[in-house]
Chains A and B, each alone.
Chain A
Amino acid sequence: MPKDHGIGASSKRREDVRFLSGRGYYTDDSALAGQTYAVMVRSNVAHGRIKSINTANAAKMPGVLAIFTGEDFKDVGGNPAGWLINSRDGTPMREPKRPVLAHGKVRHVGDAYAAVIAETYNQAKDAAQQLADDSEIEELPAIVDMKKAVADASNRVHDEIPDNLCFDWGWIEDNRAAVNAAFEKAPHITTLELVNNRLVPNAMEPRSSIGEYYPGTGDYKLTTTSQNPHLTRLLVGAFVLGIPENKLTVVAPDVGGGFGSKIYHYGEEAVVLAAAKKLARPVRWTAERTESFLSDAHGRDHVTRIELASTKDGEILAIRTETLANVGAYLSNFSTATPTFLHGTLMAGPYKVPHVYVNVKTVFTNTAPVDAYRGAGRPEATFSLERIIDKMCRELNLDPFEVRRKNLIQPDQFPYTTPVGLVYDTGNYQATLDKLIDLADVAGFDKRAAASKAKGKLRGMGLSTWIEACGIAPSNLVGVLGSRVGLYDAATVRVNATGTISVMTGAHSHGQGHETVFAQVVAEKLGIAESQIEIVHGDTSKIPFGMGSYGSRSLAVCGSAMSKAVDKIIAKGKKIAAHMLEASENDIVFADGKFSVAGTDKAKTFGEIAFSAYVPHNYPLETLEPGLEETAFYDPANFTYPAGAYLCEVEVDPETGKVDIASFTCADDFGNVMNPMIVEGQVHGGVGQGIGQALLENTTYDENGQLLTASYMDYAMPRADDVPFYTVDHSCITPCTHNPLGVKGCGEAGAIGSPPAVVNAVIDALHRGGMTHVKHIDMPVSPSRVWQAING
């Protein structure tokens, strides 16, 4: 019988009660006495020189309280890049200052160059329009296309960067010659050029920030839509505005989705804090949906040429890639890590590839910044790899299942060191592939294809065997690789006097379900009811210094810290119990919520021990402090390596090019699973986003840098009827070897593994329908693109 509580139970998500009944509390729900409204004045040209901003007229308009321009912030710090990357020649990356408000030049449509604060939102809007009318911006030619950006040195996003190149990175540079040599003698080489399409994250809740300032104490408070309040405090406080961390509280209350876009610090957060200080009144700002499209950090946007060297029977000998990765106009906080150490390090996939070399040139353009988006680098690596393996199978007339099976790392080869710098601790990739073949009924495909044909449709199936590195990240390793922060996490477990428990976590939940899952883990370990446990997150004045949620890290890193803190609680409880039970500490055992003397019926319940800790009448005060509260920090020893196998079946309408997903099957290894229902939901969401990328979503700038897809009229988000009923399995478990819960993380998996499965299926359908001239279709594989490919 399935468990009904604790680890492994599908406990219902307790937070959903408030989310689904409209009682969540989001940043914009705050109503503060004396509040004022900020509206940003944004550039409507992609590239321009700010000649003048005349604030006089706007300042006189009704309700206007203050106006800020780039000039007001020219002496404070820039919003920094969190990761230093060195080019192949050893030179450090180019890091142009990213100002709070654009100064001197505007560099993308939506780049904020001024902010208006007024008594009401409409007054601020009116004055912002006036200010825009009174600003003279000389339009410069826009730099949009990456290939042109690096080819034309005369036109620069940043005047001081001559070739629009941030860095030219080789991974691993020392392996380059050996990789090239392997290609020279390879029996077969497959080549593919592909685009990993640019995506807008589209969190349901737009970004929103409220600044407050308390003149009496000099304290600041920032309420904001963040995935990591401590990181935001560090960035806006220490790096940008110079506010000491002890004078700034950052609160990220309920946050309606992030997908990466709310990891980063944005200029609006600095504006509302500076304005709150100037006015000594709360200042609030909430993005309109159009502003989200224009100014949230976008995702993906790679142009890649990948080559694969193999034997004639499909044994992979070497892989070589050249990628242009768009970072947009400025370096967002993790933008330099995403196309490098979250991408190049995964280019061996789950395969035994002896030689791999990855080259990434990262390019500035007059577009919104690009940064990590669900999967971040790993979807790009997986897409390139899984697409070219499929192409190789077609060129050599080989079975894609057997080719993957032949190349997968064998279960007895772990720990496995890849040629791109990672050590996979554990896995069983054959097991997930076998499970997939069974679950997806691959044997029955021909029958289904015949049924599709009878309806005039072409059916195809596409496979993807994927791996990711997550549980981000071991601080010492990422430090060597250029990270400017540590990536540990922290948790405090506070046992209250009556035995209830408050757990303060550095991880932030913005839809993931931490309040449920973390409580399950603590309940299991302490043998008490989940209902006794409350998870507290998102407020730097309450929680320990943790690094937040992204990179499928919450459970693997913060959950490990929490597990360690609970262990400390149990250890202290044993000391208290030993005193109360007049026994040796070594004889105390803890099980099922009771501390007992081994071999006797003498015992104290967890509640009795907690009470004694806070009412220490019978307590070892001479050797032990009262209270029962422990904090643990946890820094992982390695990344975790979830992996799996996905199969997509599609039906293609050859007359219109429309692709329908007929079925999608996932067999994943996430290590130990704490809550199967939540894991399933995470996979559904991830695959949904992957199908969105594969079939629907695309971010298109025109040659002038205008965003053509700036609303849902033209940016196609997946809807319920675009996705199938998924078949999801996570029963193939190889527990992570280096964290206490044996967990690997599941948040990004679906978005990583699914896009190539979809595209492979479409190409398969066309080939089965005789359209063998179609070698590749770039995402999104939209009806018009499929029709064009068929008829091209």
Chain B
Amino acid sequence: MHNFDFVKPSTIADAVKALSAEGAQALSGGQTLTPTMKQRLAAPATLVSLTGIAEMKGVCMGADGLSIGAATTHATVAKEAAAHYPALAALAGGIGDPAVRNRGTIGGSLANNDPAACYPAGTLGSGATIVTNRRKIAADDYFQGMFTTALEEGEIITGVTFPVPQKAAYVKFNQPASRFALTAVFVAKFADGVRVAVTGASNDGVFRWTEAEKALSANFAASSVAGLTVSPDGMIGDLHGTPAYRANLVKVLTKRAVEAAH
């Protein structure tokens, strides 16, 4: 790892200012950034920690739904969201291992937008709103492909607001080595329809399976998915699974998520 400076501002304004410096890089839980730095694949001059900002932390139920500060760890979400949004809490509680869950944050995960991460599925599947220091971004507009988001230079995620569905479930099939999602599906049933978000499967990152949403909105039952087919075109093929295998998992896991939704 190369040497770097480290600052830990206590307000969003100070963080934005610090990030405007040459070679500055935001650090949240560091679960992706620090391994990258250790391998000398990244060498920021200054790390700006976002975990000392009180207004970016915590889980709170409000009129718009469940609001989670961007610097809230997965472990905290797993614990504090359980009463309000059990499917999302379960998703957070299934990320990585205890060490990862106690360092990694929701904001960090969404800013990174790893194609196999869990939070993008929960966020897109819930139709959540990403709140930044500049604006509010609908999940449908936020995710723009593998490791690519709507975030602009100097823009920091400060929180995420989740509408709470009537029923939901997240079913993840682990990549055997990393235990990221080889493929995972988040299904959420709202009064006005069903959302299905898939992570781990596509070369374009998290996506909505709209055919399944339509079928499930008409009849929220596993059998509604049975007749659908998922094309392997555009799916990820790697050591752990072919595009066809991932396409199969999309369907199987969607069915299981519908069965598990509560």
Chain A residues within CB distance 8 Å of chain B: 122, 125, 129, 290, 655-658, 695-696, 698, 700, 708-709, 712-717, 782-784, 787-788, 791
Contact = CB atoms under 8 A, between A and B. Distances in A.
B178 A713 contact: yes
Given A122-B2, A698-B239, 6 more contacts: A658-B173, A695-B176, A716-B176, A783-B173, A784-B241, A788-B245
Interface of B: 1-3, 39-40, 173, 176-178, 182, 239-242, 245, 248-249, 252
A180 B178 CA distance: 47
A708 B239 contact: yes
Given A708-B239, A783-B241, A125 B40 contact: yes
A709 B1 CA distance: 22
Contacts of B249: 656
Contact of A700 (B40, B173, B176, B239): B239
Contact of B177 (A122, A716, A784): A716
Most chain A beta-carbon neighbours within 10 Å: one of B176, B177, B182, B241: B176
B177 A715 contact: yes
B245 A787 contact: yes
Contacts of B239: 698, 700, 708-709, 714
Contact of B176 (A122, A655, A696, A791): A696
Contacts of B176: 695-696, 716, 782-783
A696 to B, nearest CB: 5
A270 B248 CA distance: 52
30 contacts: A122-B1, A122-B2, A122-B3, A129-B40, A290-B39, A656-B173, A656-B248, A657-B245, A695-B176, A698-B239, A708-B239, A709-B239, A712-B177, A712-B178, A713-B178, A714-B178, A714-B240, A716-B176, A782-B176, A782-B240, A783-B176, A783-B182, A783-B241, A784-B240, A784-B241, A784-B245, A787-B245, A787-B248, A788-B242, A788-B245
Residue picked from B1, B242, B245, B248, most chain A C-beta under 10 Å: B245
Contact of B252 (A122, A655, A714): A655
Most buried by A among B2, B239, B241: B239
Contacts, number: 50
B50 to A, nearest CB: 25
Pairs A-B, 4 closest by C-beta atoms: A716-B177, A716-B176, A784-B241, A713-B178
Contacts of A791: 248
A696 B3 CA distance: 37
A708 B237 CA distance: 14
B178 A784 contact: no
Contacts of A290: 39
A709 to B, nearest CB: 7
A394 to B, nearest CB: 26
A783 B239 CA distance: 11
Contacts of A695: 176
Contacts of B241: 783-784
Contacts of B39: 290
Nearest to A702: B239
Given A713-B177, A714-B239, A788-B242, A656 B252 contact: yes
A784 B3 CA distance: 42
Contacts of A787: 245, 248
B57 to A, nearest CB: 29
Contacts of A655: 248, 252
Contacts of A712: 177-178
Contacts of A717: 177
A58 to B, nearest CB: 16
B180 to A, nearest CB: 8
B99 to A, nearest CB: 14
A791 B248 CA distance: 11
* Listed residue (B39, B173, B241, B252) with the most chain A CB atoms within 10 angstroms of its CB: B241
Contacts of A782: 176, 240
B252 A784 contact: no
Nearest to B177: A716
B244 to A, nearest CB: 8
A129 B40 CA distance: 10
Contacts of A658: 173
B198 to A, nearest CB: 15
B182 to A, nearest CB: 8
A32 to B, nearest CB: 23
A657 B240 CA distance: 12
A659 to B, nearest CB: 11
A700 B238 CA distance: 11
A788 B247 CA distance: 13
A791 B245 CA distance: 10
A290 B248 CA distance: 33
B9 to A, nearest CB: 27
A699 to B, nearest CB: 11
Contacts of A698: 239
Contacts of B3: 122
A152 to B, nearest CB: 26
Contacts of B182: 783
B173 to A, nearest CB: 6
A162 B102 CA distance: 56
A713 to B, nearest CB: 5
A708 B242 CA distance: 16
Contacts of B1: 122
A122 B252 CA distance: 49
Nearest to B256: A655
A527 to B, nearest CB: 48
B20 to A, nearest CB: 28
Contacts of B252: 655-656
A695 B174 CA distance: 14
Contacts of A714: 177-178, 239-240
B249 to A, nearest CB: 6
B238 to A, nearest CB: 8
A444 B176 CA distance: 31
A712 B100 CA distance: 15
Contacts of A784: 240-242, 245
Nearest to A715: B177
A170 to B, nearest CB: 36
A787 B246 CA distance: 11
A709 B248 CA distance: 24
A249 B249 CA distance: 57
Nearest to A655: B252
A458 to B, nearest CB: 15
A779 to B, nearest CB: 13
B227 to A, nearest CB: 16
Nearest to A125: B40
A113 B98 CA distance: 40
B219 to A, nearest CB: 21
Contacts of B245: 657, 783-784, 787-788
A787 B183 CA distance: 15
Centre residue among A122, A698, A715, A784 by max chain B CB count within 10 A = A784
Contacts of A716: 176-177
Nearest to B253: A656
A129 B2 CA distance: 12
Contacts of A657: 245
A150 B224 CA distance: 54
B158 to A, nearest CB: 30
A129 B1 CA distance: 13
A112 B177 CA distance: 27
A258 B173 CA distance: 32
A708 B239 CA distance: 8
Contacts of A700: 239
B246 to A, nearest CB: 9
A791 B241 CA distance: 14
Contacts of B248: 655-656, 787, 791
A716 B182 CA distance: 13
A109 to B, nearest CB: 15
Nearest to A696: B176
Contacts of B173: 656, 658, 783
Contacts of A656: 173, 248-249, 252
A713 B175 CA distance: 9
A720 to B, nearest CB: 11
